A and B are shown apart, each in its own frame.
Chain A
Amino acid sequence: GNSVTQMEGPVTLSEEAFLTINCTYTATGYPSLFWYVQYPGEGLQLLLKATKADDKGSNKGFEATYRKETTSFHLEKGSVQVSDSAVYFCALSENYGNNRLAFGKGNQVVVIP
């Protein structure tokens, strides 16, 4: 079945630091890959996506590249701000079927001024 694995534990870093959150996946077909972000007290919202191998998704300074050879979709941002403090979820959906999402466990990111 489909599954998503995110690196363990919260991430705490200083403002303007470089952020990386690792995400690897297992899928039977050729999925689309997503990063969703959840700000405190809110629902999830789409941050970026990539729908085929070697695609790069980007938004708000965040980037992630769909790497089929390593089955990965790592999230990066060059210079984080306090406002980036949130929980980040990696997810995948098969490109056929009912758009059912499989989520990773999420990573809490705390950015300190």
Chain B
Amino acid sequence: NAGVTQTPKFRILKIGQSMTLQCTQDMNHNYMYWYRQDPGMGLKLIYYSVGAGITDKGEVPNGYNVSRSTTEDFPLRLELAAPSQTSVYFCASSTSGRGNNEQFFGPGTRLTVL
């Protein structure tokens, strides 16, 4: 049981390039989330999904896109990378949408846009 896995661990992009951050969970969780963590700040929610085929925006969705074709996978797409997207990205999952449920986090992807 690997939990939540993310790839790649690190990436450097040039301005205007695109990339996909991968996230997979093997816990059969319906709910999945993407957060970004900027230095000295808490995590901000980018997008989330309540199940396969259903996604919704969080606090900071601009410049990102997501899809959820399977329960296990929740990739995050950056279409035109900008320096403001330099951050650490965390994927998380939980069993349900009830507020008392623990979220399980992946190890993160550190992205630098130059």
Contacts and interface: CB of A to CB of B under 8 A. Distances in A.
Given A42-B107, A43-B108, A99 B43 contact: no
A49 B43 CA distance: 18
B87 interface: no
A58 interface: no
Interface residues of A, number: 28
B102 A49 contact: yes
B100 A32 contact: yes
B42 A105 contact: yes
A43 B103 contact: no
A104 B40 CA distance: 10
Contacts of B41: 105-106
A31 B100 CA distance: 8
Contacts, number: 70
Contact of B94 (A45, A49, A96, A99): A99
Given A43-B4, A43-B107, A49-B100, A99 B31 contact: yes
Contacts of B31: 98-99
- Residue with the greatest number of chain A CB neighbours at <10 A, chosen from B45, B50, B90, B100: B100
A32 to B, nearest CB: 4
A106 B39 CA distance: 10
A97 interface: yes
A94 B99 contact: yes
A43 B90 contact: yes
Contact of B102 (A46, A89, A97, A100): A46
Interface in B23-52: 31, 33, 40-45, 48, 50
B84 interface: no
Given A31-B99, A98-B50, A100-B48, 6 more contacts: A49-B100, A96-B99, A101-B43, A101-B45, A105-B41, A105-B42
13 contacts: A31-B99, A34-B102, A36-B105, A44-B90, A89-B42, A93-B99, A98-B48, A99-B99, A99-B101, A100-B33, A100-B45, A101-B33, A105-B42
